[in-house]
Amino acid sequence: MEQRKADVFEAGDEDWDLTWITRRQCVDGELDLRIFGALPPQQVQEFSCASNSTDAHDLYAGSTYRRHLCTLQKVHSSGCVSIRDKADQVLLMECTTLEVLEIDWSGRRHEECIDLEDAINFPWSYTNMRRLEPTIGVPDEPLHLHIGVEPYKKRSQPKMLSAAEIEQFAQSEAVYRQICALTDLDYLNLKILLYDPEGNRPISDDVEFNAFPGLLSICNRRYRRPNYFHHLAGLTKLKDLFGSVLAITEEIHVPMGGQ
């Protein structure tokens, strides 16, 4: 079987005219990428991969994406690669033709999320993005404490933040700036996954009941509450906003006047 794969994907096979590659459930994650990488450069317009295997992507994903950076318009990735494998980073930094990017959580640890710190370590270059569905992995401390410290949103006014909280708010705002600079967006499904970097606590993976800190808070000088809603003002073409933005969550409900 392996020899047949090798015969099919010889580099000299340049007669294919595929522009779309998708697999619903791929047992061999490497196979998708081998097909992708064997096609003539700058040909594929849409690539979708849903896999339970991530091992192969460290070696292939970044370089194979680069083979089609001038033609890729849509990428859906679920359980295939993580930002730490540098593959999604190639898309975010270099693929200016990309219009649709969907990154889903794989269900294992926080793989297939864009880590908060990684998301702000490089500029997002694309300008044609219309549809964006990222999952951002955020450490559950200090802003989402399980025990021990009163959450910032429940403290008496004005809010007094620790140095660690100020740092995580600054990182969060940097991500909001990255996203809201994509002024052609008409669809945004923004999801947050909260995890313990040490792996001692369960992942908070119900993205509808998680919330991005301060994203939907409006400026109020009296309360000194971190607020970043104004960054959304540049998304004048936005028609749909989904994800971790429900008003029933405490993070959003309290700043809107809830008790």
Helices 57-66 and 87-94 cross at an angle (nearest 10°) of: 20
pLDDT for residue 158: 67
DSSP designation for 43: -
The residue with greater pLDDT, 245 or 8, is 245
Contact yes or no for 35/21 (Cβ under 8 A): yes
Task: Summarize the confidence of residues 71-83 as an average pLDDT.
Answer: 72
Rounded Cα distance, 56 and 150, in Å: 43
Look at the pTM and tell me if it is higher than 0.85: no
Rounded Cα distance, 124 and 182, in Å: 9
Q: Using one digit for the tens of pLDDT, what is the confidence trace for 135-188?
A: 888 888 887 766 666 777 777 766 788 888 889 999 999 999 999 999 999 999
Q: Using one digit for the tens of pLDDT, what is the confidence trace for 22-70?
A: 555 544 556 777 787 788 899 889 988 765 544 445 445 677 788 888 8
Q: Using one digit for the tens of pLDDT, what is the confidence trace for 203-253?
A: 777 777 888 888 888 876 666 778 888 999 999 999 999 988 877 666 665
Q: What stretches of the chain show up as alpha helix (H) in DSSP?
A: 2-8, 29-38, 57-66, 87-94, 116-119, 163-180, 250-253
